C-alpha cells in the first residue's frame, strides 16, 4: 500500500512541476480572495500556494482521523484486557464451584 501512495505522490508532484513549467512565470493572473485582491500574480505562485494550503488542510484532516482511530483502538485494547482477566478468572475457578453454578442454573430454568 505504501508503494501505491508513494507512486501517487510522485505523480502529483510531477503534474504540479509540469504545470508550472508549461505555464511559465510570464503568465500572470488576478487573484480575488475573500478579504483581499492581488493583481498580476504569476500562475506558478498561485499553484504553489494552493498546493501547500491543500496539503496542510489534508494533513490536519488526517491527524484528526488518526487521533480518533487511536482513541478507539486504545478503548478496544482496554476492553480486551478486561475480558482477558475475566477469562483468566473463570479458568482458575474450581470445577466443583462451576458444577454447582450449572446445577443452580438448570433448576432455575425448570
107 pLDDT band (50/70/90 cuts)? Answer: low
CA 108 from chain centre, in angstroms, equals 50
With vertex at residue 86, the alpha carbon angle to CA 85 and CA 88, rounded to the nearest 5 degrees, is 65
Cα–Cα–Cα angle for 30, 31, 36, rounded to 5 degrees: 125
Greater model confidence, 107 or 78: 78
Give the model confidence (pLDDT) of 32-66 as tens digits. 988 999 999 888 788 778 888 888 898 899 899 99
Three-state secondary-structure class, residue 41: strand
pLDDT tens by residue, 76-106: 999 999 999 988 887 887 766 666 766 766 6
Q: What is the pTM of this model?
A: 0.55
CA atoms of 65 and 74, how far apart (whole Å): 14
Amino acid at each position: 500500500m505504501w508503494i501505491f501512495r508513494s507512486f501517487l505522490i510522485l505523480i502529483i508532484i510531477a503534474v504540479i512541476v509540469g504545470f508550472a513549467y508549461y505555464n511559465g512565470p510570464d503568465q500572470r493572473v488576478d487573484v480575488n480572495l475573500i478579504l483581499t485582491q492581488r493583481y498580476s500574480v504569476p500562475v506558478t505562485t498561485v499553484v504553489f500556494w494552493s498546493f501547500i494550503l491543500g496539503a496542510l488542510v489534508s494533513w490536519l484532516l488526517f491527524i484528526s482521523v488518526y487521533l480518533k482511530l487511536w482513541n478507539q483502538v486504545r478503548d478496544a485494547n482496554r476492553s480486551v484486557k478486561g475480558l482477558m482477566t475475566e477469562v483468566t478468572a473463570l479458568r482458575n475457578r474450581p470445577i466443583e464451584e462451576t458444577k454447582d453454578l450449572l446445577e443452580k442454573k438448570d433448576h432455575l430454568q425448570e
